[in-house]
Amino acid sequence: MSSRLFGRNQKDPVTDFRAKATFGVAVAAIIFMLPVGTYDLIRGESAVGFGSMAVVFILLANAWMAIRGHCHQNLTLYGLFPAGMIFMTSIFRMDGLIASFWCYPIVLAAYCMLSERRAWIANLTILVFALPMVWTTLDPAYALRVTTSLGAVSLFAAIMVNVIDNQRQQLQEQLILDPLTGLLNRLTFNDCMEQAVRLHDRYHQPVSLLAIDIDNFKLLNDTQGHAAGDRVLSMVGQLLRDTLRDEDTIFRMGGEEFTVVLKGANECAATETAERLRLAVAFANFQDICRITISIGVAELRTAESWENWAKRGDDSLYEAKHKGRNRVVLNRKKESGERKAVLLANAP
């Protein structure tokens, strides 16, 4: 997509959901499993007692990693569930009936703490281990009921999590995408600009900004109505997507204003791209709407420059293009201030 971000500091809401669920499962384990494990140790059932304590300990480690913002799913998949399998196997050897009860919370916990694909892997592993033990330790009639109900619980949990994840994804898209054009909205702009500056400072690759405005848009709204204005915005947004590369990031800033971040483009390449955009709009067929043109300001990110100043230079170029008569591209070539030069000289080797 042309509206793809370079990256965001925002937490992914799905990941955040998994982290909160992992913390909740850890709290539940302390409440329910810790007393059981302690009781088993007091009774001398060390294998089951230490197994319970190990599961609780790994869950607490998961919760700590989730709180710290680290990836906890690998520890869950490769640490917690193997430990849980060992724990469940030990209980099956002691009492298959009791062990069968533990299968259900383990299945549900997988879908709470893991991504959908990993949860499927974990649950298939659980079923592969648990069902043979169910059929070898329990009465066939009861084993059939456990098998059916455990499969149903696993399937229902998978359906529920799939629906939740899809709803969260839709809500996230509604939050960051402009509903009229489908482009990124202003909420994501600051994060993208900060990320672009960090990548530029680290890898020294050029990056440029295009500040775009539809000419005489207010007059269009006043004479042909807001419905015509909305159609123009939508069509211009589509032209931007069709003309630009997948790695370019497009924002609708509000009203008739757009901003494009061109990764890997210096001021010459950015100016050529801007001119191509201007011509694409100028010669586009907007059906029964009058001829549409755009003005564009171009600014390449400078060394050690803040994104706020970079964006302002793009806006200054856009205002210059409007002032010079619209339907044109203006490149920002203003010299750096004396203070700016002093900073660069001070940082020079």
Cβ(251)–Cβ(267) below 8 Å: no
Predicted local confidence at residue 3, as pLDDT = 40
The predicted-structure confidence for 126-148, as pLDDT tens digits, reads as follows 888 888 888 888 889 988 998 99
Whole-number pLDDT of residue 15: 58
Q: Taking Cα atoms as reference points, which of 242, 249, 98, 229 lies closest to residue 185?
A: 249
Catalytic residue status for 272: no
Tokens representing residue 99 in the block: 């062990």
* 34-48, 174-188, 191-205: least confident range: 34-48
Question: What does the chain come to in residues?
Answer: 349
pLDDT the model gives residue 2: 41
What average pLDDT does the structure give for the chain?
82
Strand duo 294-300 + 329-331: pairing: parallel
Residues 285-343 have pLDDT tens digits of 887 788 899 999 999 999 999 999 999 999 999 999 999 999 999 998 765 544 344 33
Residue type, 314: G
Stretch (H or E) spanning 92: helix 81-94
Q: What is the rounded average pLDDT of the residues 172-199? A: 88
Q: Give residue 335's pLDDT.
A: 53
CB 212 within 8 Å of CB 277? yes
Q: What is the pLDDT of residue 4?
A: 40
- DSSP state at residue 177: B
- Interval 233-271: pLDDT, tens: 999 999 999 999 999 999 999 899 999 999 999 999 999
CA 185 to chain centre: 15
Q: Which amino acid is at 119?
A: A
Average pLDDT over residues 158-183: 83
Q: What is the pLDDT of residues 35-79, one digit of tens each?
A: 877 887 888 777 667 777 777 777 788 778 777 766 667 777 777
Q: How many CB atoms lie within 10 A of CB 98?
A: 11
Q: Which of 194, 247, 256, 257 is catalytic?
A: 256
Q: How many CB atoms lie within 10 A of CB 107?
A: 23
